[in-house]
Amino acid sequence: MKRSFVRVEPDSHFPIQNLPYGVFRPRGGGPPRVGVAIGGEVLDLDALDRAGCFAPAAASGRGVFAQPSLNRFLALGRPAWRQVRETISRLLDADEPALRDNEALRAAALRPLREVELLLPAEVGDYTDFYASRAHAEHVGTLFRGKDNALMPNWLHLPVGYHGRSSSLIAGGTDVRRPNGQLKPPDAEAPRFGPSRQLDFELEAGWLIGTGNGQGRPIAVADAEDHLFGLTLVNDWSARDIQAWEYQPLGPFLGKSFATSVSPWVVPLEALAPFRVPAGKQEPEPLPYLRSPSPETFDIRLEAYLQGGAMARPERIAASSYRELYWTIAQQIAHHTSGGCNLRPGDLLASGTISGAAKGARGCMLELTRRGAEPLRLGGGVTRAWLEDGDLVILTGWCQGDGYRVGFGELAGRVLPALPYP
């Protein structure tokens, strides 16, 4: 098994098999730049580029890593991504002396993760959120519209999704302010305005688009993965009471757009290759533009943790899997562009909450507590129907290899109390 000369703990998410990309700023000062996580360290790609390590690759000497986002690198396309990944993988190899034995280059290019601040990895032009977990759609549909209207008639025919708000995307670790909004409980005569009482998280995965498509030029399902750069974790914070009152007929708006957290590390498609598995059967068979000869998905474990009140430590409240998604990312890209909509480098396509059928596999409080009716019982005598002020939510996920993990690290966010308004 390939090993790095950089120390990597056995349960680390960042072995040499992973090499996820992110954007960081040294805590000691200096401009943001692109890096790769390896064990407990970050490899500064701009430092490597300045040392000529990527020549003659397309990404060499063009400043694509001296940027506050991955976007310029993303726009270069898969051949450039591959060349860079191969170079990094070689340079970090335990048997390769070029970086290992070059003390000056190591000092310039490697620094402990605790000495850097991790930023949003991309400048996201547009953020789309899908609704691709069948268990989630059925659970939520039942709670909002009753069992008979749980799955809308379109759900099994197309990957339902909506346009999210890109301005309110935030980097992992950023606190989240509880939103105020219009609330109208079913038994109230009129709405009132105040802090959301049904604040929720959503356990999601998010694909970062590498190269885009021209407007009016659909991406075929067979070509869709060519446009994929990599995968992140996404927490699509939701105010269920605001959402329930506002969402008809045009969909979620302020119930979502106060904040959506994105994990700092983007795991490239190449690192996920060993964890490809056949996708589940779709019945009815999708229309031809959504058909693949052998559709694949990825075997990724996903978990959510909560710590609040008197709890001594974060406690796991959900254990789900990327395999719960009914629609593949290739189908989502083919559908998204089928009418001519253009994707651009850095666009984010999130999955929607990923839930399984089992009670412990539900990826949001709405499902876990059946809309607040069955509060969670946690350590320290803490109960939770919805998120409370001060609560810390941590999402994590990884692929389990033989003796190593390809992981996403943690996506954390703490709930701040609402501001008095108006």
**Is 338 a residue that touches a second copy (CB under 8 A)?**
yes
Q: Which stretch binds a second copy (CB under 8 A): 179-187, 275-283, 302-310, 315-323?
A: 179-187
Rounded distance between C-alpha atoms, residue 166 and residue 202, angstroms: 17
Contacts with a second copy, 344-383, as mask; x by CB under 8 A:
x--x------------------------------------
- Residue of 94, 215, 223, 359 that binds a second copy (CB under 8 A): 215
**Is 341 a residue that touches a second copy (CB under 8 A)?**
yes
Number of residues engaging a second copy in binding (CB under 8 A): 69
- Residue of 139, 335, 362, 384 that binds a second copy (CB under 8 A): 335
**Is 154 a residue that touches a second copy (CB under 8 A)?**
yes
- Residue of 10, 29, 167, 281 that binds a second copy (CB under 8 A): 167
**Is 305 a residue that touches a second copy (CB under 8 A)?**
no
**Is residue 227 flagged as an active site residue?**
no
CB 368 → a second copy: shortest distance, Å?
20
Contacts with a second copy, 255-294, as mask; x by CB under 8 A:
x-xxx------------------------x--xxx-----
Output 47 or 343, the one with its CB closest to a second copy: 343
**Is 144 a residue that touches a second copy (CB under 8 A)?**
yes
- Residue of 35, 39, 161, 264 that binds a second copy (CB under 8 A): 161
Query: Residues with catalytic annotation?
Result: 136
> Which residues sit at the interface with a second copy, rule CB under 8 A?
125-126, 131, 141, 144-145, 152, 154, 157-158, 160-168, 170, 177, 179-182, 184, 190-193, 196, 212, 215-216, 218, 220, 239, 242, 245-255, 257-259, 284, 287-289, 335-336, 338-344, 347, 419, 421-422
